[in-house]
Amino acid sequence: MAEKMALAKAINESLRRALDTDPKVLVMGEDVGKLGGVFRVTDGLQKDFGESRVIDTPLAESGIVGTAIGLALRGYRPVVEIQFDGFVFPAYDQIVTQLAKMHARSLGKVKLPVVVRIPYGGGIGAVEHHSESPESLFAHVAGLKVVSPSNASDAYWMMQQAIQSDDPVIFFEPKRRYWDKAEVNTEAIPGPLHKARVVREGTDLTLAAYGPMVKLCQEVADAAAEEGRNLEVLDLRSVSPIDFDSIQASVEKTRRLVVVHEAPVFFGSGAEIAARITERCFYHLEAPVLRVGGYHAPYPPARLEEEYLPGLDRVLDAVDRALAY
């Protein structure tokens, strides 16, 4: 059944389906029950599935992830919500030292099918700690998988796949796109979770992005088209693993690559992509791989975030620079 729905609603529907089909699936987090989450992503789930499966937790992120690990060891598949990106750090220890490593530590004997949902990114005029993009801090950790959908359809299906995964998945939700609507076909057969998707075919340069920046890159491609530039847009969808094969295939065609993310450029996912693609496509590249992202500064107050975040003009500027080589 295809239906147009907002990205937040798509995740809600996906969680509902998972709760409905697998009695081991649990939803837990701060305010996810009665309130339905501060973004209403879990709206109505507790009412329909009960307090035992949709659990309002104490306000303690390490406790949320730590108990989710215990529940997973007992055979459950918890989907936990961290209310905002900047609040994940009390749980960072549990995620890095326990969740990521326990499968390896047990020589494969135990599995940790835990999904950690994190609304992330800026652009909504929020206060401090509510607009960050910490995906690289998780992608750097072996044992974790990191994904971020850019649209409602992917949000629905990637959540299904993340819950079915026997590995811990950090699921970054682009909060500024929560209200963007798109067609969601709940009977489609989805592609692999960690495979990139060509959003728009082009010949002159590849724009690679994920999560909230995919829409921006499409706008950039539209604007560039008016100037006669034919840009390809790749939605990476997954930050760990990264689908380097798809990026390579695109770059071998376009010979130029600009990576766009909200996270700071320094040690960001764009740095890893630039290094790997340079290695793989050295003789195809006409220009160095360029990156557009946040600055090496704390996420600024809301009145400054438009200057900090990659916008249409900053990405176009990078496109111009890459094409000038």
Which residue in the set 16, 17, 40, 111 belongs to the binding site for other proteins (CB under 8 A)?
111
Judged by beta carbon, residue 2 or residue 60, the one nearer other proteins is: 60
Distance separating alpha carbons of residues 157 and 11, to the nearest angstrom: 9
Asked if 73 touches other proteins (CB under 8 A), the answer is: yes
Enumerate residues 6+ apart whose C-beta is below 8 A from 137: 92
| Least Cβ distance, residue 211 to other proteins (angstroms) | 19
Structural contact between residues 278 and 244, judged by C-beta atoms closer than 8 angstroms: no
Distance separating alpha carbons of residues 247 and 244, to the nearest angstrom: 5
Q: Using CB under 8 A, which of the segments 37-45, 213-221, 239-247, 284-292 binds other proteins?
A: 239-247
| Least Cβ distance, residue 145 to other proteins (angstroms) | 7
| Least Cβ distance, residue 216 to other proteins (angstroms) | 26
| Closest by CA position to 116, among listed 175, 165, 172, 49 | 172
Which residue in the set 97, 185, 222, 320 belongs to the binding site for other proteins (CB under 8 A)?
97
Distance separating alpha carbons of residues 88 and 144, to the nearest angstrom: 15
Identity at 84, one-letter amino acid code: F
Residue 130 falls in the annotated catalytic set? yes
Asked if 189 touches other proteins (CB under 8 A), the answer is: no
Distance separating alpha carbons of residues 262 and 240, to the nearest angstrom: 17
Asked if 2 touches other proteins (CB under 8 A), the answer is: no
**Interacting positions 241-300 with other proteins (CB under 8 A):** 241-244
* Tokens of residue 170, six digits: 């950090």
Asked if 46 touches other proteins (CB under 8 A), the answer is: no
Asked if 31 touches other proteins (CB under 8 A), the answer is: no
Asked if 83 touches other proteins (CB under 8 A), the answer is: no
Given the DSSP bridges, would you call strands 169-174 and 145-147 parallel, antiparallel or unpaired? Answer: parallel
> For residue 295, how far is the Cα from the chain centroid?
20
| Least Cβ distance, residue 66 to other proteins (angstroms) | 3
| Closest by CA position to 239, among listed 249, 251, 247 | 247
Judged by beta carbon, residue 27 or residue 71, the one nearer other proteins is: 71
Which residue in the set 68, 155, 220, 318 belongs to the binding site for other proteins (CB under 8 A)?
68
Which residue in the set 121, 143, 268, 270 belongs to the binding site for other proteins (CB under 8 A)?
143
Judged by beta carbon, residue 97 or residue 185, the one nearer other proteins is: 97
Distance separating alpha carbons of residues 323 and 158, to the nearest angstrom: 34
Structural contact between residues 280 and 248, judged by C-beta atoms closer than 8 angstroms: yes
Enumerate residues 6+ apart whose C-beta is below 8 A from 188: 153, 157
| Least Cβ distance, residue 71 to other proteins (angstroms) | 4
Residues forming the site for other proteins (CB under 8 A): 52, 57-58, 60, 62-63, 65-76, 90, 93-94, 97-98, 101-112, 142-143, 145, 165-167, 194, 240-244
Q: Which residues are catalytically annotated?
A: 130
